[in-house]
Amino acid sequence: MKATHSDPTVQPVPASVVETVDAADTTLSNPRWAVLALGANLGNRLETLQGAVDALADTPGLRVKAVSPVYETEPWGVDPGSQPSYFNAVALVKTTLPPSSLLERAHAVEEAFHRVREERWGPRTIDVDIVAYADVVSDDPVLTLPHPRAHRRAFVLAPWHDVDPEAQLPGHGPVAGLLSAVGDEGVTLRTDLELRLPE
């Protein structure tokens, strides 16, 4: 007679259980949505962006829920041709970290990839910016929310719109409208490149 024993650890988890756990997680930890902009124009840009996404996903109290397509962008605020082009992307995360702790984590990720802050608009291995945190509006000079220039930057708005077409930038309105206003000149979708969502 065949044993009817089964190991519960190898069974697929029913969707209803996953939904219940997620609901409990939401109730208990009260996570907030945040939008992070990623950019790199030195070294292996795609590998660095993926590394940054993975490092964010390894952060306690943070889950990466969506990652945008990759865009190639002319450097902003400098003479044309003076720097390599950027790869840009946006990550949507749910986090229980307060904004100040999220900023510390963003800086830690930059440091891990040897980000150097020698000049304004200088080239960089990785840039991790908090674009928005829930509906928080703050003029704190350490962390201004939402990001004070996000509403004018197609390299933030285009990937954000791709990953969340209904997105709103607090204090500025729908991302779709902001993107229409600034246009997408100098911002090219790289359909041949892809960032993986961490497991």
Nearest to 61 by CA among 90, 99, 91: 99
Which single residue is written with the structure tokens 């003479």?
79
Q: Could you give the CA distance from residue 95 to residue 84 in angstroms, rounded to a whole number?
A: 33
Q: Residue 179 corresponds to which tokens in the numbers above?
A: 């993107």
Nearest to 65 by CA among 108, 116, 105, 26: 26
Annotated active-site positions, please? 115, 124, 127, 129
Q: What angle do CA 65, 69, 74 make, to 5 degrees?
A: 130
Spatial contact of 34 and 64, defined as CB atoms under 8 Å apart: no
Q: Could you give the CA distance from residue 144 to residue 131 in angstroms, rounded to a whole number?
A: 9
How far, in whole angstroms, is CA 14 from its chain's centroid?
29
Q: Residue 135 corresponds to which tokens in the numbers above?
A: 């509906």
**For the chain, what is the radius of gyration of the CA atoms?**
19
